[in-house]
Structure 1
Amino acid sequence: MTGSLRKSGIEVLGDIPWGTHFCQFYETPQDLLYTEAAFFKAGLQHNEYCLWILSETNKELTVEEAASTLRKLLPDLDDYLAADKLEIVSREEWFLKEGIYDLKAIAERFSEKLKQALLRGFDGMRVNGGGAWLLDHFEGELHKLEKKIDQFIVGQPLIILCNFPLPHILGNDMFDVMHNHQFGIARRYGKWEVFETPELLQAKASLKKMNEDLEQLNNKLEQRVAERTQQLDEAVQYLKIEITDHKKAEELLTESYQQIRALTEHLQNIREEEQIRIARELHDEIGQQLTVLKLNADWLREEIDSPDKTIQKKFKDHMAMVDTAIQSVRKISTELRPSALDDMGLAAAMDWHLNEFEKRTNIQSYFLKSEKQPELSAKVQTAFFRIFQEALTNVARHARASEVKVTLTQKNSHLHLSIHDNGAGFDPQKAKEKRTLGLLGMKERAAMIGANYQVQSKSGEGTTVSVLLPIHE
C-alpha cells in the first residue's frame, strides 16, 4: 500500500508516494487557496479522505466561510462535504482543544482520523494545514510538531502539506522548516519553484551503493542460513543415529536439539531485524532521494524544453529509469518487511500480500478470515506471515495451480491458518527425504511459537499447508 504513487494535484510535482511530508511557502492568500484546491481535488477524486486545518492566512475564516471560499474553486465541494469525504476544522479546534496545546493529543488525533478513514474504505488520507503560528506562541514547538509528523508518517497511507507564509518565515526559521520536510515548493508570481535537500546530488551514487550492499547482504544471509540449516540438520541426524537406545544419549540429544532450535530462532530473529532495518533505510533514504531526483529531472526537462529529439529521448529514458528504480526499491523494501504487518496486523498484511500475489501470478486467490482477530505478539505474527509467504512462494514455483484459498480463523481457543491450492501436488515423503529447505523452514517457524504444522498433498490433488496455534484470551 505504502509504495503506490498518488496524484498530488500540483503540476510541478506530479505523482508522489504515500508518506510524503512537504511544505509550501506562499506570498498571497490566492496562491495558498490555489494550491489547497488543487491538492484536495486530487485526493477527493482518488478515494482519499481530506482534512483541511485552517492556517494563518485563513485563520479568521469560520469553517462555513472557508467552505464558501473553496467552493469557488471546487464546484463539487458540497457533494464531498455531504459524503463526509472532506472535513474542515479551525486551527483552535485541531491544535488547541479546550485552549490547551498538547502534542501527544494532536498526534493521537491524526492517528485516529487515519484509522477511521481506512475503516471507511478510503485508500488513505491527505492533510493540509499551517504551523507558523507556533513560532509566536509556543517557542520550539514547531520543530517538535514537524518531527512528530515525520515519525508518524513513515509507512502510512498519508500525505501532509504544511503551509508557511513567506512574510512570516524568514532567516533561520526557513532553514528549520526545510530541514523538517522532505522538500518544499513555492508559487510566486504565478510560477512554481521546488527546493530540494543537498542529498539530491548524491542520490544516484547512494542508490547504486545501497543496491549493491543489499544484494551482497542478502546473498550472505541466504548462504549463512542455508549452510547453518544444513549443518544443524546433519548434526541432528547424526545424534539420532548414534544415541537412539541410550537414556543418557537421549537426554543429550534433547538438549542439543533445544540448543539448535534456540540458535535457529536466534538466526531467524537476526535476519528479521536486519530486513526491517534495510527496509526502513530503503524507504526513508533512497525512496525519498529518488522522489526528489524525479522531481528535479522533471523540472529540468520543463526548463530546458529542447526540440532536439535526442535530448527528449534521453529525458524520457532517464525518467523511465528513475521510475523503475523507485518501483524496485519499493518492491525490495516490501519483500524484506511488509509495512502492513507492523501497521495493521497479520490479517491485513496477509490480505495485501495475497492481492499482490494474484496480480503477479494470475492465480485466482481467495482469503477468508474471522471478523474478530486475537491479539498476537510480534513474534507470532511474523512466524505466521513468513509461513504464509513461503507457502505462496511454493505455489507460484511448483504447484502449477489456477486457484489458491487462504483461511485465518479462530475457533475453540485455537488460531488456524490454512493455505490450499488446486495444483499438481507432490509426495510429502519424497520431499522430506530431499530435506527441502522451504518446508523445513516453515516447520521450524511453527515449532518456535508452539504451533502444530502439517502438510497434506497428493499428486494431482493439490496441497494444503496448515498451522494450528493454541491461544489464550
Structure 2
Amino acid sequence: MFLIQDQDSGTLFIVLVAITILLLLLVVVVVLFSVFMKRKNSLLLEQEEAKQRFEREITETQIEIREETLRNISWELHDNIGQLLTLAKIQTQNSGGSQQDLDEAVATIGKGLTEIRALSKLINPEALKNMSLPEALNLELERFERMAYLKPSLKISGSPIEIDKKIETIIFRILQEFFTNTIKHSKATHLDVHLNYRGDTVLITVKDNGVGFDYEKARAKNGIGLTNIETRAKLIGATIKYMSQVNEGTTLSLNYKTQSL
C-alpha cells in the first residue's frame, strides 16, 4: 500500500515538473514572441519614419530646384536675352537702311530666339521631370556657358544605368548646390563634370579651378551648403568626399550604388 502511494506521489511529482517546465517554456515563448513583435514594430516604425523623411526631403528638394530655376530664368532674361533684344533694337535704330546692319539685327534677334527656346526647357517642369541625370546636367552646364559664368565640360564614361527619379532629383540638387557655390564664391574659370558608370554604381566627380577653401574649417562652422550636401548624400546612401585647398580649386566626388529603398 505504501509502495503504491510512493509511486503515485512520484508520478504526480513528475507530472508537476513536466507542467512547470511546459509553463516555463510557454512563458519563454510568449516573452520571445513579445520581444520579436516589439522589435518588428519598432523596425516598421523606423522604416515608415525613414520613408516619410525621404518623401519630405524629395518635396523640399523639388521646391529648391524650382526656386533655383526661377532665379536662373530671371538672370538669363535680364543678363542674356534682355541684352540681345536691346542690342537688336539699337542695331535696327542705327541701321539707316543699310542691309548689312539689318542683317546683323536679324542675326541678333535669331540668337535671342534660340536662347528663348533653350530657356523654355527650364520653364517646362514636365521636360525636366522626364530628363535623365546626364540630360539635366548638360542643360545646366549649357546655361553656364551661355551666361559666360565659366567654361564647363561634361564627360560620361561607361553605360548609363537606370536610377530612381527621386534619387536622381537629390543627386542633381547636390551637384547644383556645388555649382552655385562655385559660381558665387570660387572665381573659377573652368568646371569639369565626369559621370563614370561602373556596373550598378555611378561615380560623379566635379572639379573647379577656383580659389578653393579650407574644408575642415568650413565643416567646423557647419556651413549650410556643406551640411545640406552631406545630409542628402546620407539620405540616399551615397558617399561624398570633398577635396579642396586654398588656391588649388575644389573637387567633389559622389559615389552612389543603386539599391531598393
TM-score (norm 1): 0.32
Matches within 5 A, 1:59-70: none
Is the CA contact 2:201–2:256 (under 8 Å) kept in the aligned structure 1? yes
The equivalent of 2:257 in structure 1 is 470
Is the CA contact 2:214–2:246 (under 8 Å) kept in the aligned structure 1? yes
Is the CA contact 1:340–1:348 (under 8 Å) kept in the aligned structure 2? no
The equivalent of 1:401 in structure 2 is 188
Matching of residue 363 in structure 1 with residue 150 in structure 2: yes
Structure 1 residues 340 and 434, CA gap change in structure 2 (3 angstroms): farther
Aligned mates of 1:472, 1:401 — CA distance in 2: 35
Kindly provide the CA deviation profile for residues 64-123 of structure 1, in whole angstroms up to 9, marking residues without a partner as x: xxxxxxxxxxxxxxxxxxxxxxxxxxxxxxxxxxxxxxxxxxxxxxxxxxxxxxxxxxxx
Aligned-residue identity in percent: 30
User: What's the CA shift for 1:275?
Assistant: 6.8
Structure 1 residues 348 and 395, CA gap change in structure 2 (3 angstroms): same
Q: Secondary structure at the match of 1:443?
A: helix
Q: Which of residues 267, 272, 275 is equivalent to 2:56? A: 267
Is the CA contact 2:192–2:208 (under 8 Å) kept in the aligned structure 1? yes
Is the CA contact 1:361–1:396 (under 8 Å) kept in the aligned structure 2? no
Kindly provide the CA deviation profile for residues 15-61 of structure 1, in whole angstroms up to 9, marking residues without a partner as x: xxxxxxxxxxxxxxxxxxxxxxxxxxxxxxxxxxxxxxxxxxxxxxx
Structure 1 spans left out of the alignment, 5+ residues = 1-256, 283-322
The equivalent of 2:245 in structure 1 is 458
Matching of residue 435 in structure 1 with residue 192 in structure 2: no
Matches within 5 A, 1:209-228: none
User: What's the CA shift for 1:343?
Assistant: 2.4
Is the CA contact 1:340–1:349 (under 8 Å) kept in the aligned structure 2? no
Matches within 5 A, 1:39-438: 265-272=54-61, 334=122, 339-370=126-157, 372-438=159-225
Structure 1 residues 276 and 429, CA gap change in structure 2 (3 angstroms): closer
Q: Secondary structure at the match of 2:154?
A: strand
Structure 1 residues 397 and 364, CA gap change in structure 2 (3 angstroms): same
For this pair of structures, how many residues does the alignment match? 168
Is the CA contact 2:174–2:232 (under 8 Å) kept in the aligned structure 1? yes
Is the CA contact 1:425–1:459 (under 8 Å) kept in the aligned structure 2? yes
Is the CA contact 2:122–2:128 (under 8 Å) kept in the aligned structure 1? no
Q: Aligned partner of 1:440: which letter?
A: T
Aligned mates of 1:451, 1:388 — CA distance in 2: 13
User: What's the CA shift for 1:471?
Assistant: 2.9
Aligned mates of 2:238, 2:207 — CA distance in 1: 18
Higher helix share: 2
The equivalent of 2:4 in structure 1 is none
User: What's the CA shift for 1:340?
Assistant: 4.4
Is the CA contact 1:390–1:442 (under 8 Å) kept in the aligned structure 2? yes
Structure 1 residues 373 and 262, CA gap change in structure 2 (3 angstroms): same
Aligned mates of 1:463, 1:276 — CA distance in 2: 23
Determine which structure has more spread, i.e. the larger CA radius of gyration.
2
Q: Aligned partner of 2:153: which letter?
A: Y
Q: Secondary structure at the match of 2:242?
A: strand
Structure 2 spans left out of the alignment, 5+ residues = 1-45, 71-111
The equivalent of 2:88 in structure 1 is none
Aligned mates of 2:186, 2:122 — CA distance in 1: 24
Aligned mates of 1:273, 1:372 — CA distance in 2: 27
Aligned mates of 2:49, 2:259 — CA distance in 1: 28
Matching of residue 448 in structure 1 with residue 232 in structure 2: no
Off by >6 Å, runs of 4+ in structure 1:
257-263, 275-279
Kindly provide the CA deviation profile for residues 162-190 of structure 1, in whole angstroms up to 9, marking residues without a partner as x: xxxxxxxxxxxxxxxxxxxxxxxxxxxxx
Structure 1 residues 366 and 266, CA gap change in structure 2 (3 angstroms): same
Q: Secondary structure at the match of 1:365?
A: strand
